A and B are shown apart, each in its own frame.
Chain A
């Protein structure tokens, strides 16, 4: 092999070894650096007991915190509010409480995620950030509370719920499956 050929072989081999070294260090480094971009394995959303059905006022929505284990990276905060829901109850069906009309919405505004409040007139849900307004049945209203177009891409997000009877006390309870959804889109997609 002549000198030029030997040198280009050495260059090629050095490059290969250098690339191996770079890969051994680089792959875990990059994989670690972008780990926050991976989908989080959030705990399976489950039905949580939220409030006694009888304690809910009729035709006047109330906001109730959902209590659970709040995970923040390595720390677990036991029994902390992990979110809030709006519950709007109709007339109590005393014959079969499970048939009581009830609406359960996540209090997270589908626009940019602020907590939706009750409007000043008490007739609408209004988000305090950009005045997105919703009817009590969750429907998006085209015009904002203060005029202008409603910035929310969809109505309030309904949550799955169940009305159940406690085995011991025989009280009727509302159980809600609290979930979070992608913001800013016309369709409802659960965050995973």
Chain B
């Protein structure tokens, strides 16, 4: 080994290149203060390694970005790798804060270390910009909303703002070019810039040695100990601890992946935690003053720190120490409390918290759908757009909930302001139909109580039957059989087992509907009865039946002419779907949702 090293050294002279590292000393002995710089460097290296590996499976386009990130999470090691990359980016910013505080407190910016100070300060906005270009890369709803707002903030900078925004977003609205631009910045431009500045920073640190005290004598004349292993040992302890926390967070929570970006999803955008103080400040500076919080203030803060060495020179040692301590205390106090106020406001905001929960639920739903059926060619956006569980309530609220409630037995669900039509929760099931066939329930607000059917033949017929019944329990039994038979017409997935099991009751019900209960005097049912006077009972509640009544309730199969109360026709013209309120796709989604037909995890349906 030794002879091989000699051989290699004779040819490459490598020992000379590595000598500065090997012979590096630490003035005044090892110190925990000095670990923050080393920590930052290693976190950068971790980001570089994990980021390069992630590039192997990432695809920047609106159709494939989310899908490829979800794919990475399914790949062995992928989820953990992405988690490390994600949490390390946050740790980097925290480590920068710690490093900045220690440099300010030890006045490490004094001559001859001006270049270390300037390059170090530059690295902070560069690193933040680096993480900002990374967050939206999965084309998730949160990241894309963030970069949209961030782009607009950049655009509010006079003169150069709009140009920079277009370079960042690639156009007016976030899209494919945003992802390719951000990808270029994140894996190409920003690393080059950061490592150029970082290279200068580190070579300067080697040239002048790190400063550990604001007492210059100690920095210059303290006893020198070897850096390796005396300081390295402390560096490694801090690095291992920080990475341990990162690994724990990754293992426990993983890197988040919100729902695929879709402007039709409701989402309340919020900046990352490191922008929260500016976000909070912006609240107090509205209108033209907003610019102060978003652009001027960060610039002023940066400029103040750049000028700190000059202030330090102008002041006496005692005054400078006071100024530096005050800077740290006031800075940490202001930034910390603004951040806290901003988060606290959101935590108390029920609407925001509900929106956050909804965003999380959508993300979980999208991930579930993607792992169940793969991703369609059209991209991740269609996962939720074609999902009845997601779109059903949206469509119902928009089109049905002006009159129809959709609430379960506890009254939870979609509640209209003034309910004036039947509750469609569990429509077509045995329980629902049994209610229709009860003379009291029929005229209750849960069913037709607030429609003109209260005055109709069905209401009076039911009343007559129940009040004139010789054997009320016998009639109830017959009605139950009829309800069983009718609910089997819908072929609901939730009743598939019951439909198979209760064939005898269903057969009896069919006979009763066509016979003793004389339903077919008004209703058509199978071969019996005729259309025109009351809704068709054939295929009652089936996909086709539901689509029919929603499309056109005045069709002769349902409530022709003035028999219809107030229900509008949502898709009366099948020839020209673009003129209808509901598109064929929306109608399909709504029908599926009303019938409870959607992909669900096995545990959730039990």
Contact = CB atoms under 8 A, between A and B. Distances in A.
Do A and B actually bind?
A: yes
Interface in A1-46: 7, 10-11, 13-14, 17-18, 20-21, 24-33, 35, 38
Contacts of A21: 42, 236, 239-240, 243
Contacts of A17: 233, 236-237, 239-240
Contacts of B84: 24-25, 28
Contact of A28 (B81, B373, B374): B81
A71 B374 contact: yes
B243 A24 contact: yes
A29 B374 contact: no
Contacts of A11: 228-229, 233
A94 interface: no
B375 A32 contact: no
B377 interface: yes
Nearest to A27: B77
Nearest to A13: B233
B70, B76, B374 — most chain A CB neighbours (10 Å): B374
Nearest to B47: A25
Given A7-B229, A14-B233, A18-B236, A29 B42 contact: no
Contacts of A95: none
A26 B228 CA distance: 23
Interface string B235-255: 011011001100100000000
B600 to A, nearest CB: 20
A75 B67 contact: yes
B374 A75 contact: yes
Nearest to A71: B374
Contact of B375 (A14, A25, A38, A74): A74
Interface string B46-89: 10011001101100000010011011100111101100100000
Interface residues of A, number: 29
A35 B374 CA distance: 19
B76 A14 contact: no
A25 B240 contact: no
A35 B75 contact: yes
A183 to B, nearest CB: 25
Contact of B53 (A29, A38, A69): A29
B412 to A, nearest CB: 36
A168 interface: no
Interface in B193-244: 226, 228-230, 232-233, 236-237, 239-240, 243-244
A31 B77 contact: yes
A24 B84 CA distance: 9
Chain B interface size range: 35 or more
A25 B68 contact: no
Contact of B75 (A13, A24, A32): A32
A29 B77 contact: yes
Given A7-B229, A24-B84, A31 B236 contact: no
Interface in A65-121: 69, 71, 73-78
Nearest to B42: A21
B261 to A, nearest CB: 16
A74 B67 CA distance: 6
B229 A10 contact: yes
A33 B232 CA distance: 30
A30 B81 CA distance: 10
A24 B46 CA distance: 10
A77 B226 CA distance: 62
A150 B240 CA distance: 61
Contacts of A29: 49-50, 53, 77, 81
B490 to A, nearest CB: 24
B376 A76 contact: yes
B249 to A, nearest CB: 12
Contacts of B377: 75-77
Contacts of A33: 53, 56
Contact of A14 (B53, B229, B247): B229
Interface string B391-402: 000000000000
Nearest to B74: A74
A31 B232 CA distance: 29
Contacts of A76: 373-377
B46 A25 contact: yes
B561 to A, nearest CB: 41
A133 B602 CA distance: 51
A10 B68 CA distance: 44
A30 B239 CA distance: 21
Contacts of A20: 240
Interface string A153-167: 000000000000000
Given A32-B53, A74-B64, 20 more contacts: A14-B228, A14-B233, A17-B237, A17-B239, A21-B42, A21-B236, A21-B243, A25-B50, A27-B77, A28-B77, A29-B49, A29-B53, A29-B81, A30-B77, A32-B72, A32-B77, A74-B67, A74-B370, A75-B64, A75-B377
Closest 9 CB pairs of A and B: A76-B374, A31-B77, A17-B236, A32-B77, A74-B67, A28-B77, A10-B229, A74-B71, A28-B80
18 contacts: A10-B229, A14-B232, A17-B239, A18-B236, A20-B240, A24-B244, A25-B50, A25-B84, A28-B80, A29-B49, A31-B77, A32-B76, A33-B53, A35-B77, A35-B78, A74-B68, A75-B376, A76-B376
Interface of A: 7, 10-11, 13-14, 17-18, 20-21, 24-33, 35, 38, 69, 71, 73-78
Interface of B: 42, 46, 49-50, 53-54, 56-57, 64, 67-68, 70-72, 75-78, 80-81, 84, 226, 228-230, 232-233, 236-237, 239-240, 243-244, 247, 370, 373-377
